[in-house]
Chains A and B, each alone.
Chain A
Amino acid sequence: MNSWAVICTITRREIAAYFESPLAYVFLVIYLLLAGVFTFVFGGFFERSEASLGSFFGWMPWLFLFLVPAVGMRLWADERRLGTIELLLTLPVTTAQAILGKFLASWLFLAIALAFTFPVVITVNVLGEPDNGVIACGYLGSLLLAGAYLALSCMTSALARSQVVSFIIAVMLGLILILVGFNPVTDILARWASPAVVEAIAGFSVLTHFDGLQKGVIDTRDVLYFVSLMVFALFTTDVIIRSHRAG
Chain B
Amino acid sequence: MIKVENLTKVFGAKRAVDDVSFEVSKGEVLGFLGPNGAGKSTTMRMITGFIPPTSGKVSVCGFDMAEDPLPGKRRIGYLPEAAPSYQEMTVRSFLNFAAEIRGLRGDERTRAVWRAVETCSLESVINQSIETLSKGFRHRTCFAQAIIHDPEVLVMDEPTDGLDPNQKHEARTLIRRMGESKAIIFSTHILEEVEAVCTRAIIIDRGRIVANGTPDELKARSETGRLDDFFRAITLSDTAGAANSAKEVA
Chain A positions within 8 Å of B, measured between CB atoms, are 1, 5-6, 9-10, 13, 16-17, 20-21, 82-84, 86-87, 89-94, 245-247
In the A-B complex, the 10 residue pairs with the smallest Cβ-Cβ separation, listed nearest first, are A83-B84, A1-B103, A92-B73, A90-B48, A86-B80, A92-B74, A84-B84, A20-B88, A90-B78, A245-B51
Cβ of B154 within 8 Å of any chain A Cβ, yes or no, is no
- The distance in angstroms between the C-alpha atoms of A17 and B85, with both chains bound, is 12
B87 lies within 8 A of A82 (CB): yes
Evaluate whether A17 and B50 lie within 8 angstroms (CB atoms) in the complex, with A9-B100, A91-B98, A93-B101 already known.
no
Q: Which of B48, B80, B88 has a CB less than 8 Å from the CB of A17?
A: B88
- The distance in angstroms between the C-alpha atoms of A91 and B151, with both chains bound, is 12
A245 lies within 8 A of B52 (CB): yes
> Which A residue's beta carbon lies closest to that of B104?
A1
B110-133: CB near A (< 8 Å → 1, else 0) gives: 000000000000000000010000
B88 lies within 8 A of A94 (CB): no
- The distance in angstroms between the C-alpha atoms of A1 and B86, with both chains bound, is 23
Cβ of B102 within 8 Å of any chain A Cβ, yes or no, is yes
Evaluate whether A92 and B51 lie within 8 angstroms (CB atoms) in the complex, with A13-B86, A16-B93, A83-B84 already known.
no
Give chain B's interface residue range (CB within 8 Å of chain A): 20 to 34
B51 lies within 8 A of A247 (CB): yes
- The distance in angstroms between the C-alpha atoms of A5 and B87, with both chains bound, is 24
Residues of chain B within 8 A (CB-CB) of A91 are 73, 98, 101-102
Residues of chain B within 8 A (CB-CB) of A247 are 9, 11, 51
Q: Which of A9, A16, A21, A245 has a CB less than 8 Å from the CB of B101?
A: A9
> Which B residue's beta carbon lies closest to that of A87?
B84
Given contacts A17-B86, A87-B85, A245-B51, 4 further A-B contacts (CB under 8 A): A87-B84, A90-B50, A91-B102, A247-B11
Residues of chain A within 8 A (CB-CB) of B11 are 247
Residues of chain B within 8 A (CB-CB) of A82 are 84, 86-87
